[in-house]
Chains A and B, each alone.
Chain A
Amino acid sequence: MLYTLLCYNDEAITSAWTDEEDAAVMARLDVVHRKWADKFQPMARLMPTSAATTLRKRDGEILDGPYAETKEQLLGFYVVDVEDLEMALHIARDLTEANPGGAYELRPIMIYYPNGKAVENDPGT
């Protein structure tokens, strides 16, 4: 069985972390990541919601920020490897054709481990 674990927290709090606090959290998580390395599939840390764009499928309107409505539920997600936001939007519009209703939030990924492992080659810092 495959499960996704979707991570929620208050961004006002997480963005108040200092670099050291952030690194400490990541280091603690890393211990767990290694412990369950054979269970983890793709893992991603998303960029802040300030980097998000939302495509409202009803009218194709592009909104800045994350998807804020609470009427709809999260039903799935894609990870796409594209040149820029424009291309990601292009794909999202194609998906809309096939399945109207709801919205797509396009959120860039900050850290991505395609197979759950490989913590060594962090392209940041």
Chain B
Amino acid sequence: MTRAPDPSWIEARLVGARPQAVAALLRYFRDLDLAEEAFQEACLRALRSWPQNGPPRDCAGWLIMVGRNAALDHIRRRAKLTDLPPEDALSDHGEPEPDMAERLDAADYRDDILRLLFICCHPDLPATQQIALALRVVSGLPVARIAAAFVVGERAMEQRITRAKRRIAQADVPFETPGPLERAERFASVAAMIYLVFNEGYTDANPASERAALCGEAIRLARLMLRMFPSEPEMMGLLALMLLQHSRQKARFDGAGLPILLEDQDRKLWNRHMIAESLAMIDKAMLHHRPGPYQIQAAIAALHARAQTPEETDWAGIDQLYEALEQRAPSPVVSLNRAVAVSKLHGPQAALDMIEPLSERLDGYFYFHGMRGALLEKLGRNAEARDAFGHAIALANTPAEAAHIRQHLDRM
């Protein structure tokens, strides 16, 4: 076995094998901390053994076996059993692979990983804890990086993750293989959690920040899910949606970190590779004839991506897709977004008529007032527009959002 020239090759293998290995170790030990410790120990042994012996053919299998043996050894020691097996019986010197193949097949891995992700999105956990836990346990990001992504101290993040783990330990997590219905439910929760991770990163203007890196991590998780469960059209839709949104990363903010509206973005900055991959994912998903909210949102984003200029945008198609989305996943925010298409197709008055009934439910929503202001401005009702923009500024979630509305006011 020739050695790779770059010493980081081990690191990449450990990161790549992590979800599978931790997930399988969790099945053995039914305890998140123990599974993580076992994986850590296996990594340490890999760092000692692989530079000499080269990487094993099945890295995840090696790490699972070595980690499991090391943890069992540890448990026995803790139980003060004197009768320890000889070192080489559980060491990393032997090749653990031959008997791995029989014990672990793809079907086990699949449900292991689904379970691991599902545990992280336990309904008892608030969204921020779900994301933090998934990033720590599944992706293996160091606590310092997760803390940086959430702009909190490392100690505080450590505590947040510990609390989340404790809550999960108390909750009753089923370890038997899930039935089809349960699997589908788990799948939906996991998809929602992956999208949460993505959205956490999406709002960051600096593409080099830890927070923005969460977008890439979410995309990686979705690809991982699709490698395990290749025939899930909603996961294809989610991956496509995230790729399309991420493809605009370099175009979405100006030099000062202020958001740039879709129609004002420099489309040459959109990442064509990501767009191409997402279009391929949508094509695949459509063969299933099982549309869902992620697929529809991806299809909407794809119509924007296909337009070379804002004028080429297929607003009628977007309007139809929003209508389908309203039927499947009705929400005032969806209707608000649809109003953008309606405004392009039938003018600002039609769009305003459409969003006015939402005013009660969206009164506390920044974008509602921002959009209402923009429509009123187009209708020449400047006094009312100023009023609406004032509302929006008061509700802005970030200084950048407020600054964006102020630009509008300045232009008026």
Question: Interface on A for B, CB 8 Å cutoff?
Answer: 10-19, 21, 47-51, 53, 62-65, 84-86, 108, 110-111, 123-125
Are A50 and B281 in touch, CB under 8 angstroms? yes
Query: Main secondary structure on chain A at its contact with chain B?
Result: mixed
Q: A125 vs B269: C-alpha distance in the bound complex, in angstroms?
A: 7
Are A50 and B226 in touch, CB under 8 angstroms? yes
- Answer yes or no: B128 CB below 8 A from chain A CBs: no
Chain B 206-227, CB-CB to A under 8 Å as 1, else 0, gives 0000000000100010011011
Are B277 and A108 in touch, CB under 8 angstroms? yes
Q: A108 vs B273: C-alpha distance in the bound complex, in angstroms?
A: 11
Are B280 and A108 in touch, CB under 8 angstroms? yes
Are A49 and B273 in touch, CB under 8 angstroms? no
User: Would you give the shortest CB distance from B116 to chain A, in whole angstroms?
Assistant: 15
Question: Which of B8-16, B37-45, B93-101, B360-368 forms part of the interface with chain A?
Answer: B8-16
Residues of A within 8 A of B279 (CB): 84
Task: Report 30 cross-chain contacts, Cβ distance below 8 Å, ordered by A residue.
Answer: A10-B16, A10-B59, A12-B16, A12-B59, A12-B60, A12-B224, A13-B15, A13-B17, A14-B16, A15-B16, A15-B220, A16-B16, A16-B220, A17-B12, A19-B216, A48-B223, A49-B227, A50-B227, A50-B230, A50-B236, A51-B284, A53-B284, A63-B230, A64-B284, A65-B226, A84-B283, A85-B280, A85-B283, A110-B277, A125-B273
Q: A10 vs B239: C-alpha distance in the bound complex, in angstroms?
A: 20
Q: A110 vs B277: C-alpha distance in the bound complex, in angstroms?
A: 7
Residue with the greatest number of chain B CB neighbours at <10 A, chosen from A15, A53, A64? A64
Are B287 and A12 in touch, CB under 8 angstroms? no
Closest 10 pairs (CB-CB, A-B): A65-B230, A85-B283, A12-B16, A64-B230, A50-B226, A16-B16, A124-B273, A13-B16, A16-B15, A108-B280
User: Would you give the shortest CB distance from A97 to chain B, in whole angstroms?
Assistant: 20
Q: Inter-chain contact count A-B, CB under 8 Å? A: 83
Q: Could you say which of B15, B223, B226, B271 contacts A124, with CB atoms under 8 Å apart? A: B271
Residue with the greatest number of chain B CB neighbours at <10 A, chosen from A10, A49, A63? A10
Q: Could you say which of B59, B239, B276, B284 contacts A85, with CB atoms under 8 Å apart? A: B284
Residues of A within 8 A of B281 (CB): 50-51
Question: Interface on B for A, CB 8 Å cutoff?
Answer: 8, 12-13, 15-17, 20, 59-60, 216, 220, 223-224, 226-227, 230-231, 236, 239, 250, 271-273, 276-277, 279-281, 283-284, 287
With CB as the reference atom, state the residue of chain B lying closest to A123: B272
Q: A10 vs B61: C-alpha distance in the bound complex, in angstroms?
A: 13
Residues of A within 8 A of B15 (CB): 13, 16
With CB as the reference atom, state the residue of chain B lying closest to A54: B230
Other CB < 8 Å A-B pairs besides A12-B59, A65-B226, 17 of them? A12-B60, A13-B59, A16-B15, A16-B16, A18-B216, A21-B12, A50-B226, A50-B281, A51-B277, A53-B287, A65-B227, A65-B230, A84-B279, A85-B283, A108-B277, A108-B280, A123-B272
Q: Could you say which of B13, B226, B230, B250 contacts A13, with CB atoms under 8 Å apart? A: B13
